[in-house]
């Protein structure tokens, strides 16, 4: 009797293991997209991917990490398509022979969120660099992504324009969370700190606490997303055909329309701009 139950447990284990192998073989029609937490956390993919999958039968598997890590994954050949938001790095990726060609997909903007009380008095400023100087001057807490993501790179670029060496301040009023956009917003909300965030994640974020948008509208806060097919000449296993189909669809009038139609609480998160 005891023997029987042990044998049964072993069989159960086998049965549990079985479907996995069949599963991964059956769903061979898929592309892997390395993308960013800001796009994934906003809910954009949940809204638009089912349309593409239904139309083509190709499953889109999104691995959402920071832009820096996404680019590294794509360089290693662990993704077929790269969908991120840091134009300079994307161009370097293509120039380095890792990607075929880069296309603009859509944009939104970054904004600086901060506590309602606004201790640095930056509310309503349209000059983001001036606002960041004030935050630094007040030594008001500021939470940085600190994870080599597109947002992080953007933020460091803005600090450079202020001429302030924030890295030397790290650990005092300037705090690097080293995590994704959402986790960084959680941290900022808990600390009542200022934070640079992309609008998509901000709008879909539910744990804002006392944080409100303080600075927006500066053209330097422009946030362009691009899409690139990983070069099959570099990584022959890349699913170039299906990857290209996905890119074509994203850039097509239908894909662009779907992106434009994606809203949260009636607010659009991304503006499609594939055609200029």
Partner 1 sequence: MSDFAAAFSNAVSLIVELDAGLAEIVLLSLRVSMSAVFIATLIGLPLGAATAMFRFPGRMSIVVVLNAMMGLPPVVVGLVVYLLLSRAGPFGVMGLLFTPAAMIIAQTVLIFPIIAALTRQVVEDLWEEYAEQLRSLGATPARAMPTLLWDARFSLLTTILAGFGRASAEVGAVMIVGGNIDHVTRVMTTAIALEVSKGDLALALGLGMILISLSLGVTGAAFVMREAARG
What is the smallest separation between the CB atom of 136 and partner 1, expressed in angstroms?
Answer: 26
- Window of 96-104, 136-144, 179-187, 191-199 that interacts with partner 1 by CB under 8 A: 179-187
Chain residues 206-245 in contact with partner 1, contact rule CB under 8 A: 206-208, 235, 237
What is the smallest separation between the CB atom of 179 and partner 1, expressed in angstroms?
Answer: 8
Quick one: which of 7, 24, 130, 137 contacts partner 1 (CB under 8 A)? 24
Q: Which residues of 74-97 are buried (b: 16+ CB within 10 A; e: fewer)?
A: bbebebbbbbbbbbebbeebbeee
Quick one: which of 9, 92, 137, 167 contacts partner 1 (CB under 8 A)? 9
Quick one: which of 5, 22, 168, 275 contacts partner 1 (CB under 8 A)? 5
Distance in angstroms (rounded) separating the CA atoms of residues 45 and 38: 11
Distance in angstroms (rounded) separating the CA atoms of residues 125 and 121: 9
Quick one: which of 47, 63, 191, 203 contacts partner 1 (CB under 8 A)? 63
Distance in angstroms (rounded) separating the CA atoms of residues 32 and 23: 16
The size of the interface with partner 1 (CB under 8 A), counted in residues, is: 48
Question: What character string, x for contact with partner 1 (CB under 8 A) and - otherwise, covers 110-139?
Answer: ------------------------------
Decide whether 24 or 126 has the Cβ nearer to partner 1.
24
- Please tell me whether residue 14 binds partner 1 under the rule CB under 8 A: yes
Q: Which positions lie near partner 1, rule CB under 8 A? A: 1-2, 5-6, 9-10, 12-14, 16-17, 19-21, 23-24, 27, 30, 32, 37, 41, 45-46, 59, 61-64, 73, 75-78, 179-183, 185-186, 189, 204-208, 235, 237
């Amino acid at each position: 009797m005891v023997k029987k139950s042990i044998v049964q447990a072993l069989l159960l284990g086998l049965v549990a293991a079985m479907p996995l192998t069949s599963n991964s073989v059956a769903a061979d029609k898929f592309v892997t997209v390395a993308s960013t937490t800001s796009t994934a956390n906003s809910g954009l993919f949940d809204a638009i991917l089912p349309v593409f999958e239904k139309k083509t039968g190709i499953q889109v598997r999104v691995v959402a990490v920071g832009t820096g890590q996404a680019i590294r994954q794509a360089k290693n050949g662990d993704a077929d398509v790269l969908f991120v938001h840091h134009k300079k790095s994307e161009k370097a990726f293509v120039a380095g022979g890792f990607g075929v060609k880069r296309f603009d997909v859509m944009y939104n903007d970054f904004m600086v969120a901060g506590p309602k009380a606004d201790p640095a008095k930056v509310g309503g400023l349209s000059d983001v660099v001036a606002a960041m100087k004030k935050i630094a001057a007040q030594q008001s807490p500021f939470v940085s992504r600190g994870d080599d993501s597109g947002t992080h790179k953007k933020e460091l670029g803005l600090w450079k324009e202020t001429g302030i060496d924030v890295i030397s301040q790290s650990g005092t009023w300037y705090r690097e969370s080293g995590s994704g956009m959402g986790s960084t917003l959680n941290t900022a909300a808990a600390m009542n700190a200022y934070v640079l965030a992309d609008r998509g994640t901000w709008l879909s974020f539910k744990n804002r606490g006392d944080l409100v948008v303080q600075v927006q509208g500066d053209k330097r806060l422009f946030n362009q997303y691009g899409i690139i097919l990983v070069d099959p000449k570099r990584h022959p296993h890349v699913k170039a055909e299906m990857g290209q189909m996905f890119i074509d669809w994203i850039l097509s009038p239908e894909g662009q329309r779907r992106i434009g139609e994606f809203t949260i609480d009636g607010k659009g998160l991304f503006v499609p701009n594939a055609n200029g």
